[in-house]
Amino acid sequence: MAKDAMEPETNVLAETDEYMAWTAEEPDGETTYHLELNNVTIHFFKEEWDEFISLARLLVKTSA
């Protein structure tokens, strides 16, 4: 079946039993990033995602 041209193409980055991170290639060419944490989904644009990843790396570094 052909996919709707307005439907974003998605790609799972990482997944556990309860959480998932994925990207969507939007029809306008922008990549958006998404975190599904149980029943909450957080949506990021590229710049926001980059800042979140920087924060996550700092958290990992300080908790080690």
Q: Which pTM does this prediction carry?
A: 0.83
CA–CA dist 11, 34 (Å, integer): 10
Whether 31 is in a domain gets the answer yes
Whether 58 is in a domain gets the answer yes
CA angle (22, 11, 63) in 5-degree steps: 35
Domain count, the chain: 1
Per-residue pLDDT reduced to its tens digit, 2-39: 466 678 999 999 999 999 999 999 999 999 999 999 99
pLDDT confidence bin for 1, thresholds 50/70/90 = very low
At residue 4, the 3 state secondary structure works out as: coil
The residue segments making up the domain with residue 29 are 9-63
pLDDT at position 3 is 60
pLDDT confidence bin for 64, thresholds 50/70/90 = confident
